[in-house]
Chains A and B, each alone.
Chain A
Amino acid sequence: MTGAGSGATIVVESPGLFTTVQDLGRPGHARLGVSAAGAADPVALRLANRLAGNDEAAAALEMTLAGATFRFEAGAVVAIAGAEMEARVESDAGALLVPAGCAAFVPAGGRLRCGAARQGARTVLAVAGGLRVPPWLGSVSTHVGSRLGGVEGRALVKGDRLPFAPEAAAAAEGLEVAAAGRPAILRRLEGELPGGPAGALPVRLRATAGAQWDRFDAGARAAFTAGEYVVSGASDRMGLRLDGAPLAPPGAGRMLTEGMPLGAVQIPPAGKPVILFVDHQTTGGYPVIASIITADQPRVAQLRPGARLRFELVGLDAALRLLHEQEARLAALRMVPA
């Protein structure tokens, strides 16, 4: 924590469609029914924090489909990752576009105005020094379903004030531009950004066999990987509802309630798959045909209503190899001065 006198505030002028405080979540309390929550696209959160000079797990803002507008009462270094929202820094000294994958300086009194996501669905905004939001169970992540964590357990609204404390290093880094008082791009990530918005449609989601895979009949299993699905508008951080040819679940879709993993693809009685996402309930009673691999969580996060997707079944070894490859690509990304 920084010392007294370093306080500064971000004011929410327009909250966007659905903007919440997130970090990497609070796993560890499933037995109490407490969801882990956390950034939908954890890769974007880590990269935005890295660009901002923060710990990768620091608190940041997750915006959804339509971005927010913030006014900075003190100069700040901000960074953006995930879906491209045409973020603009506006100040008396000029305006500047901040592409995803960049860190920028926002002068005191300046605004950051984020537009609609051009592709993908979620954008992370990190602020150097991190947001000063009180943690609950070791995390600031918002879970709106249980109204816990983040800012009063809810999405941001107009007028919310978010304290942040620019760390010495981040502040010093911005000094040169701060002296000039102008918005400026400070640095950007160079290299292949993993997990970003998928260009080609339909999106391919890789999954390992789910807990009840063996209980689905051969026809349902074949249809699951052969079919194309469309993300329904009734999707959120709890789950993505998919439209497509229904699959016949075993046992008429009923089973004894049990714990559910992140990314589980449940098949309820009506046969339309539901992908359990970051805010999902800890337990569930519908059979799980497959579970999305960890490396593809960012792809799920970037699916928007109407997006088309297909499932591909992979083995555990392949899932782990893909995760380790993704981590290697992340580690290889370099930050270069803009």
Chain B
Amino acid sequence: MIRAMSAPGREPIVLSFASDRTLRVAFGEGLDPAAHRQVRRLLRRLDQRRLHGVEDLSPAYATLLVRFEPRRVAPSAIEAAVRGLIVDLEDEPLEAPRRVEIPVRYGGAEGPDLTDVARHAGITPEAVVAIHSGVRYEVHFLGFTPGFAYLGTVPEPIACPRLDEPRRSVPAGSVGIAGAQTGVYPAATPGGWRLIGRTPLTMFAADRAPMSLLLPGDEVRFVPLAGGVAARADA
């Protein structure tokens, strides 16, 4: 069922059926930016070709799921078509990323874990903010809940593991860190990421176009809102 394709100098591209209605294309199993670019290139080609019988495309870091309707199309036909789209995939151009700035109030009640992240890193909360807002992140994919973008890569010193016990409810707009990933909760949901601040932006609105503020491939920068780091959590 699993077939490998040879691609010189790269991890083999592995096609397999993740269910009787889902083809899974894996460009690797680890955090490799080159593999992720391949995911985006294949997504682009699939968007352009609009294969008969395909219902949904689910890109992630190193994998892409192609969901099809097995009553309308044979899995072998989907596999053959995707195999065709993988030929010379590295030649597929990627659009320049959109640039999105997200204002954030760091610390205080809106970022209750900022001091813990600082303690974990052995630096001040101000330094955590400087590091977190000092780099550009890439939207790798969306998942978990509508509009939740997985952003990478968080600089190593402030990469802090998830909470042992997730919170039952995280306020909408909360900015969190989980290991090398950062992201913004679009709606009040349970969550285990370390919360360091909050944005007043609406990350997802069902009646807006585009619905999601962040889309795969976007380049994101967090901008501290005036007032500096609220120290209330420490006080």
Contact = CB atoms under 8 A, between A and B. Distances in A.
Interface of A: 27-34, 36, 136, 145-148, 208-211, 214, 255-264, 281-284, 288, 291-294, 315-316, 319-320, 323-324, 327
A327 B71 CA distance: 8
B145 A146 contact: yes
Given A33-B144, A319-B20, 8 more contacts: A27-B56, A32-B142, A32-B204, A34-B146, A211-B18, A261-B67, A291-B18, A294-B70
B2 interface: yes
B64 A146 contact: no
A36 B56 contact: yes
Contacts of B29: 255-256
A136 B206 contact: yes
A283 B56 contact: no
Contact of A33 (B18, B19, B57, B142): B142
B71 A316 contact: no
B84 interface: no
Nearest to A207: B19
B143 interface: yes
Interface of B: 1-2, 16-22, 24, 29-31, 43, 55-65, 67, 70-71, 74-75, 141-148, 150, 187, 189, 204, 206, 211-212, 215-216
Contacts of A28: 55-56
Contacts of A255: 29
A26 B71 CA distance: 17
Contacts of A316: 1, 17, 20, 75
Contacts of A27: 55-56, 67
A30 to B, nearest CB: 4
A109 B164 CA distance: 55
Contacts of A291: 18-20, 22
A36 to B, nearest CB: 7
A264 B24 CA distance: 13
A32 B218 CA distance: 13
Given A145-B145, A146-B145, A283-B141, A323 B61 contact: no
Interface centre among A33, A209, A315 (most CB of B within 10 A): A33
A63 to B, nearest CB: 25
A44 to B, nearest CB: 17
A256 B61 contact: yes
